Amino acid sequence: MNNKQNSHSLSVKLGAAFLMATSAIGPGFLTQTSQFTAKYLASFAFVIACVIIMDAVAQTNIWSVIGVSGKRGQEIANTVLPGLGVFLTFLVVLGGLAFNIGNVGGVALGFDAMFGLHEKVGALLGGTLAICIFLSKSGKAAVDKVAQVLGGVIILVMLYVAISSKPPVGEAVVRMFTPERPGSMVGPMLTLLGGSCGGYITFSGAHRLLDAGYGGNKDEVPHFRQSVLTGISVSGTVRILLFLCVLGVCTQGTALVTANVEAITSAKNPAAEAFRLAAGNLGYRLFGLALFSAGVTSVIGAAYTSVSFLKTLHPFVREHESGFIVGFIAFSTLVMTVLGGAKKMVIFAGAVNGLILPISLCCMLLACRNPKVVGKEYRHPIALYVLGWIVVLFSGYLAITALPNLGKLFS
């Protein structure tokens, strides 16, 4: 009996970790990492390392507070300042919806690369598949298993193509500590940070653990930290492998291959082009599989987490959670099918995403020493607390630079 309980516990924690990780590994993740790697080459290893560290700091802070309190992000925000949780819910749901439209598009691109399906047909199939997962008999257990399996698929695909491209690993390690033109990479660093743990992403796995019955006292915090660090390890591994793949395509040993750099940076889909250059048509098909996997799990993560915020606003949402999740996915699929690429929504989502991280992390840092939230016995690590405020400053700058996108969108 204990073995079964331990097995279930491990499955739930891994499911939450992969739900967060695969939510972070969406179409934007693949495109941004490929584009910036082709531009900055080995020096981009510095950005990759910094983003993974800041991602770990931000999410460990947030998951720890959610774990010890047993409350959702919006409930904690309302305790810190009445009404703040409603504002946070609005941002997360709006950003999650906008991103989900792009995620459905990512599934469609994956189907196109694998089978040559038309974008709209791929979008409908992707949305239908995600809905079927929620309507399956096992429900949330299916979400855990799908996130783990597809996360594993993404890692294996990235590993194969990274090895095929023969990247200069030694130079990348050196440039991680001695980057060229580090000042010019502040923008990409902040962009990748927002894509790694901004918006709904940072709450997805933590809320899944709450739904599984975890959280509510200081003894639960290690479970949350173990899960979040596992998730960050998964998303970080994929980002490193994708970086090495593109770096290998753009260089031969230490020599720059200008034609490949131009092909990737000018391509509509930089990651797909990198995979094609690395491993031919097989690489392109494998990219389709990776993008399909990333898209499906991101659709699941965005819908699940967005509704987990809404269901605390009214009992009706809680009572009909599955219906709201299906409706969320169906609406995203419909918009993607009608509008095609939905570029304006993706730009708008990027701006919203940049706004959410500093607000959500600031709320958690204010809450981590509030007895009404964490109780009288819990003591938040000072180092984690200080590092958290440093990330708030960085992500706050991201929010400021993202705001102009709203004006460009509606101009």
In order, the DSSP letters of 36-69 are HHHHHGGGHHHHHHHHHHHHHHHHHHHHHHHHHH
Q: Given the structure tokens 């399956």, which residue do they identify?
A: 136
Reduce the DSSP state of residue 265 to 3 states and report it.
helix
Q: What are 273-309's pLDDT values in tens digits?
A: 888 887 788 878 877 887 787 778 788 778 888 888 8
Which distant-in-sequence residues (6+ apart) come within 8 Å of 390 by Cβ? 57
pLDDT band at 140 (very low <50, low <70, confident <90, very high): low
Q: Which two tokens stand for residue 323?
A: 């219906």
Alpha helix segments (H runs only) across 166-269: 169-177, 186-197, 201-211, 221-250, 258-266
The burial class, CB within 10 Å (0-12 / 13-18 / 19+), for 6 is exposed
**DSSP label at residue 185:** G
Helix (H) or strand (E) holding 251: strand 251-252
Q: Does 73 or 395 have the greater pLDDT score? A: 73
Residues 6+ apart with CB under 8 A from 195: 24, 26, 28, 29, 32, 353
Rounded Cα–Cα distance for residues 284 and 354 (Å): 31
Q: What is the DSSP letter of 341?
A: T
Which three-class secondary structure state does DSSP give residue 296?
helix
* 30 pLDDT more than 90: no
- What's the mean pLDDT in 374-387? 92
Q: How confident is the model at residue 71 (pLDDT cuts 50, 70, 90)?
A: very high
What is the average pLDDT value for the chain, to the nearest integer?
82
Task: Provide the 3-class DSSP secondary structure of residue 256.
Answer: strand
H helix count then E strand count, the chain: 19, 2
- CB–CB of 279/269 below 8 Å? no
What count of Cα atoms within 13 Å lies in the side-chain half-sphere of residue 285?
A: 5
Check pLDDT > 70 for residue 320: yes
What is the rounded distance in angstroms from the CA atom of residue 296 to the CA atom of residue 318? 24
Name the residue with tokens 């989900």: 100
Residue range 54-66: mean pLDDT, rounded: 93
**Local structure of 116: helix, strand or coil:** coil
C-alpha span between 241 and 161 (Å, rounded): 8
Query: pLDDT at residue 339 above 80?
Result: no
Contacts of 104 (CB under 8 A, 6+ apart): 123, 126, 127, 295, 299, 329, 332, 333, 336
Q: pLDDT grade, residue 61 (50/70/90)?
A: very high
Helix, strand, coil proportions of the chain in percent (round to 5)?
A: 85, 0, 15
Residue showing tokens 């000018």: 266
Comparing CA positions, the residue from 236, 198, 208 lying closest to residue 96 is 198
∠ CA(196), CA(299), CA(16), 5° rounding? 60
Average pLDDT over residues 89-96: 85
* Tally of CB atoms within 10 A around 23: 32
CB 88 within 8 A of CB 73: yes
Query: What's the chain's Rg over C-alpha atoms?
Result: 20
Closest CA to 402 of 366, 363, 357, 372: 357
As a whole number of angstroms, the distance between CA 69 and CA 352 comes to 26
**What's this model's pTM, rounded to 2 decimal places?**
0.84
- Report d(CA 306, CA 308) in Å as an integer: 5
User: How far are the Cα atoms of 63, 110, 159 from residue 249, in angstroms, in the given order?
Assistant: 37, 21, 14
